[in-house]
Amino acid sequence: MSDADLYSTTVGESGDPVVFLHGLFGQGKNFTQIAKALQPDFRSLLVDLPNHGRSPWTDHFDYVECADLVAEHLRSGFAQDGPVDVVGHSMGGKVAMLLALRHPELVQRLVVADISPAPSDGAGEFEHLLGSLAQVDLSAVERRGDADAQLRDSIEDERVRGFLLQNLRQSTEGYAWQANLDVLRRDLATIGGWPEIDVHFDHPVLWMAGERSDYVTEEAEGPMRRLFPRTRQLTIKGAGHWVHSEKPEAFTSALRVFLSADD
């Protein structure tokens, strides 16, 4: 896959450049509301990571490869004029951290949302979600509601089903999943892991956590501060893992303050 193949969209025509990297099952457009709220002070790039959205599929999942692909995508366009701010949530937060560590010339400020530079404990939940999606009989789906009905017994939360069903797309041959479910399910242990890396990033970092989430732990604080010594930590009250969708106003306010601050 070439760097030009990554799909992204831009929100805003002026302001400081900021890049958003989504989590597992997500797409760049998941940050549209946040990006619009940051206008006109920020111009945002919403990236579909490999195996998600409109970006191509790969044969396997690898964080280093993913970060390098994002780096090349930024060099070819959005970051041509200099470093940009980068915001990453969950899986996208790990990609963002590796992007900053491996390509520090591209990143001015970094925001890591509800994830740590350490193995994650959510594999069981995501294995269940991936398995549920794989069990959907797409040949029986004539409209999105049919897929939703098939998922109700295994995924009771309507909001979670709605989020996952954003990955369902209609073509001339019927409905299909945009996300590469086979690779994501097979390589879920890798997605939940963290590669060894011994460099550090010297620019400002905002490390956000959802109050009701357990993806940011006390045990991860040491590794985080070794890799990112200029880390500031913030907890979003009342939020779970999907901090940007559960508490968009608090998330946007925190972003604006951090991204606008003097170094």
Residues 128 and 117 in one domain: no
CB 21 within 8 A of CB 47: yes
pLDDT in tens, 63-108: 999 999 999 999 999 999 999 999 999 999 999 999 999 999 999 9
- Position of tokens 């390098």? 68
Catalogue the active-site residues.
90, 182, 241
Q: What is the mean pLDDT of the chain?
A: 93
CB 204 within 8 A of CB 230: yes
Mean pLDDT, rounded, for 31-35: 97
* Tokens describing residue 53: 């959205």
Going by pLDDT thresholds of 50, 70 and 90, the confidence category of residue 122 is low
CB 73 within 8 A of CB 47: yes
pLDDT of residue 76: 92
pLDDT of residue 120: 81
* Tokens describing residue 94: 């790990």
Residues 47 and 165 in one domain: no
Asked if residue 3 has pLDDT above 50, the reply is no
213's CB contacts (< 8 A; 6+ apart) are 114, 239, 240, 241, 243
Short-list 221, 199, 201, CA closest to 209: 221
Please identify, among 144, 169, 186, the residue that sits at the C-terminal boundary of a domain.
Answer: 186
Work out how many domains the chain is built from and give that number: 2
pLDDT in tens, 5-18: 899 999 999 999 99
Going by pLDDT thresholds of 50, 70 and 90, the confidence category of residue 175 is very high
Residues 157 and 238 in one domain: no
Domain of 209, CATH number, reads 3.40.50.1820
Asked if residue 25 has pLDDT above 70, the reply is yes
Residues 38 and 164 in one domain: no
CB 240 within 8 A of CB 210: yes
Share of the chain above pLDDT 90, in %: 89
pLDDT in tens, 212-223: 999 999 999 999
Residues 156 and 89 in one domain: no
Domain that holds residue 52: 3-121+193-260
Residues 226 and 178 in one domain: no
